[in-house]
Amino acid sequence: MSLNKSCWWQEKPDYDDNQIIKEALACDNYSNNRRAEVDGVSVNGLNDQVTYRTNSSQLFNANVVDGNIYNIKSGTARVFADGWFLFIKPLAAGEHKIHVAGAIDSPDPNCNSSGDVNWIIRVK
């Protein structure tokens, strides 16, 4: 699971590094409705910021290709990412269903996003 916000220099070319970091961090303060199940068992404690929230800790460079899904200019981008992530212990061999969902519902409409995804994986 990943419910996160990244702020790209290409999206905000007038922002300095501190403003890019501040925007990415602020958006995830409005993350809510996080839920996850592994094989039908709910994952508890998803609001724990120490266990499930992390960030890139510093700006990094990312190569952006033409025709990207974000519709931003290609080239090298300065990026900062912050978000909520689900890490699970290795699963036993066999088929497993992982369901994750969540939303960012912020006063800033540029932050808002949501997702609801099911994965069926086979562990060998």
The model's confidence at residue 2, banded by pLDDT at 50, 70 and 90, is low
Mean pLDDT of the chain: 84
Specify the higher pLDDT residue, 9 or 117: 117
Position with higher pLDDT, 123 vs 14: 123
What's the pLDDT at 77? 83
Looking at the DSSP assignment, which residues form a beta bridge with residue 84?
A: 3, 53
* Strand locations in 1-124 (E): 2-8, 31-38, 41-42, 53-55, 60-64, 75-85, 94-104, 113-123
Q: Are 113 and 34 in contact (CB under 8 A)?
A: no
pLDDT of the residue at 15: 87
| Interval 43-98: pLDDT, tens | 988 877 777 777 888 889 988 899 988 787 888 888 888 887 888 889 999 999 99
